[in-house]
Amino acid sequence: MSPLRKTSLVAGVLYLLTFVSIPTLFLYISVHDPRYILGPGPDTAVIFGGILEVIVALAGVGTAVALYPVLKRQNEGAALGLVGSRVLEGAGILAGVACLLAIVSLRQIGAGSGALVASQTLAILYDRIFHLPQGLMPAVDDLLLGYLLYKSRLVPRVLPWIAFIGAPLLLISWLGVLLNLWGQRFTVTPLAALPVALFEFSL
């Protein structure tokens, strides 16, 4: 297997791993309940969701690192920018996971009603942090990657164009949520993320 083929295979597998956190949309429902910290039951779903998000954070950084030797031939600065933006994205994901696991820890030690405000604050903080690594940074990532792939001609020309269309849509969606024009779970938000998801999944 040629070095280029190995690079593409590793990057492809890592890109697929960045989709494993999709189930967290359902796994985190309970932890967003204001009274979650007071209720009985296992914390397995939240912990499992946290593990999936850690995998996504590491895989995201891995995609940029794996592609760097190829992409730097097109523009080293942009390739380094992609690595940096992926690192920032991963750091944001890990910060969000830390917030949710802190709620789990408060529940496990029996913090009780005295920790209700703290747990709700952590849940809100997770939602706010979520917008950066899942809204802003993927748009930056895909603009850089789309540009580099467009120059390299290593993929069909239609793929970078999906990134060029999808990234601005995701940015508009992110700004809308940030400015409270629509909610995080409003129909516009997931629809705006579809082109970016299609671009990354296609890679």
Percentage, residues of the chain above pLDDT 70: 96
pLDDT (tens digit, 9 = 90+) per residue, 64-80? 999 999 999 999 999 99
Residue among 99, 102, 103, 182 nearest 135 (CA): 182
- State residue 140's pLDDT score: 93
In the predicted model, residues of the chain with pLDDT beneath 70 are 1, 183-189
- State residue 35's pLDDT score: 85
- State residue 85's pLDDT score: 95
- State residue 155's pLDDT score: 85
Residue among 91, 112, 102 nearest 39 (CA): 112
Distance, in Å, from the CA atom of 135 to the CA atom of 129, rounded to the nearest integer, reads: 10
- State residue 86's pLDDT score: 95
Distance, in Å, from the CA atom of 50 to the CA atom of 21, rounded to the nearest integer, reads: 9
CB 192 within 8 A of CB 170: yes
Cα angle for residues 23, 26, 30 (degrees, 5° grid): 140
